[in-house]
Amino acid sequence: MSDDRSDVIIVGSGLNSLVCAALLAKKGIKPLVLERNAVFGGCIRTEELFPGYQHELMASWYPLFLGGGAYAKLKDDIAQAGVEFIDNGYTTGVVLPDGRSLALKQDIADAIQRLDGVAAGDGALIGAMADEIFNKNGELLFGLLGGSPYQFSTFKLLFQQWRKRGMDQLMQFAGQALIPFRSWSQKHIKHPLTEALMAPWVLHSGLGPQDAGSALIGKLTFAAVVGGGMPVVKGGGTQLVNALVSIIEKHGGKLLANTQVDQIIVQNGKAVGVEAGQKTYMANKAVVCNVTPTQLYQHLLPNVAPEVTQAANNYRYGRGAMQIHLALSSRPAWANEEMLNVPLAHLATDLDQVSMSVMQAECGLIPTQPTVAVGQPAAVDPSRVPEGGWIFWLQIQDMPRVLKGDAKGEIEVDATQGWTEQVREQVADRIVGQLENVLPGLSEQIIGRRVLSPTDLEQLNPNLVGGDIYSGTCSLDQFFWFRPFAKTGAVKGHQTPIKNVFHIGAATHPGPGLGGGSGLLVADLIK
């Protein structure tokens, strides 16, 4: 048994865990963070994959964090620790397979003008959409996403909105929130280029264009990026992790790596500590778990009511993802040189292509033409590459979690073996080939390549089940009040059946993304 007692034990060291620990430590509650891996940070992991090239293995962009409540509370501490968030005034863009492209700045008015120049009428649509999100519905939308579903403040917000709008308008808002992006796009968007620009952002919430609720989430994500920017951490996300670790330690908290927590110790209905291998760590106040519902209720807290176990077993994970890291000897030869400024663009054709690739992945097939998120971190932070060099951070969010075959019939797949090294590299060849079609000579520029399949991603972080980088699909039955699942017994939101055990992370409200929201909400609950 460890002789050192802590006030709160936090299982896992992702962003939500570090935020929670830092906030607790600052108010005098001593946390102990236990991490199974050799490094802290969860999905934030910067590595020099090739000499002089600093790559983000998984997460890379921080608009949610800078716009959220966790950063507001820790901003000064993070700055004092030497962390600098930077952007370059550009946000997103799109490149079509025929080479046509569009780059957008961090400016809604400019985006309207640029889009109307290549897709007449769609610029005005974007303007109306942004006004609806930020002005007409901003208070309600961001209030719901930023607060806890079960706190009085949320019910107060709904009551105020009912007084302001009336029941009919509230019901209209709810009805509009259920519309799939595909239906909204077919009704309102006029040009395929605009479809290709916006539709991929739906995938960044773990949904597909055909899913209920994806119109609201897709529009919100796109508008937030264009309006708020795509900042990165200068030098890599590990700088932020190190800063949060230093804040925790400065205020009396501790962190241990290479420590796999096996079970929570419960006595008389209260958690008193955890078992990790041959060691026991005791907690005076609470245990906080940044894990999936499957891990929580099958391993850490196995002896719960049958209905809770069943709800956890019913929790669904979404599509897999793939990361491809390319180190280039020189800048890519975009036909439109302005694309060199874009932090994160997408290589896509139109709404049908994005929808088809999602459906193929959900059927277990490697898509014929995956949608490719093309990240260019060196466009924002040149310090990550040698002079003249470049990095492509490619993320493909329409990969099958359970691999059954290849929609194109070119890659031989053994469903019993899944994501083998050979399959992984052949899929990467297809994706790099798609990119080279719009960037002739790309293969000659590549001096280093590393590919992470869905299986590789889960090995790096067990919360990414089957390579699902969102730790569970964000369909309407697993979102907001229903994340990870609807109230079951004593389980609701972040509260588990054990009163002083709390659940945080991407599988809980407000869901995935580098925001730190659940860590903030639970830190506020622990006194």
Residues 520, 22 contacting (CB under 8 angstroms): no
pLDDT tens by residue, the chain, 527 residues: 455 689 999 999 999 999 999 999 999 999 999 999 999 999 999 999 999 999 999 999 999 999 999 999 999 999 999 999 999 999 999 999 999 999 999 999 999 999 999 889 999 999 999 999 888 888 988 888 888 888 888 889 999 999 999 999 989 988 988 999 999 999 999 999 999 999 999 999 899 999 999 999 999 999 999 999 999 999 999 999 999 999 999 999 999 999 999 999 999 999 999 999 999 999 999 999 999 999 999 999 988 999 999 999 999 999 999 999 999 999 999 999 999 999 999 999 999 999 999 999 999 999 999 999 999 999 999 999 999 999 999 999 999 999 999 999 999 999 999 999 999 999 999 999 999 999 999 999 999 999 999 999 999 999 999 999 999 999 999 998 899 999 999 899 999 999 999 999 999 999 999 999 999 999 999 99
Name the residue type at position 359.
Answer: M
Which residues have C-beta within 8 Å of that of residue 236, sequence separation ≥ 6?
A: 46, 54, 56, 384
Neighbours of 73 (CB within 10 A): 17
Any idea where the domains of the chain sit in the sequence? 6-41+237-315+473-525, 107-228, 319-460
Would you state the pLDDT for residue 3? 52
The whole-angstrom separation of Cα 427 and Cα 448 is 17
Residues 473, 481 contacting (CB under 8 angstroms): no
Count of all residues that appear for the chain in the document: 527
Residues 404, 364 contacting (CB under 8 angstroms): yes
Q: Which two tokens stand for residue 66?
A: 């800078």
pTM of the predicted structure, to 2 decimals: 0.95
Q: In Å, what is the CA distance from 515 to each residue of 19, 62, 70, 459?
A: 9, 8, 7, 23
Nearest to 141 by CA among 48, 230, 221, 85: 221
Residues 374, 345 contacting (CB under 8 angstroms): yes
The whole-angstrom separation of Cα 344 and Cα 411 is 28
The DSSP secondary-structure symbol of 335 reads S
Q: Which two tokens stand for residue 417?
A: 């073996």
The owner of tokens 């292509």 is 353
Nearest to 481 by CA among 514, 510, 503: 510
Domain 6-41+237-315+473-525 has CATH 3.50.50.60: yes
Q: Which residues of 451-476 are buried (b: 16+ CB within 10 A; e: fewer)?
A: bbbbbbbbebbbbbbbbbbbbbbbbe
Would you state the pLDDT for residue 45? 97
Nearest to 50 by CA among 405, 446, 362, 515: 446
Helix (H) or strand (E) holding 217: helix 214-228
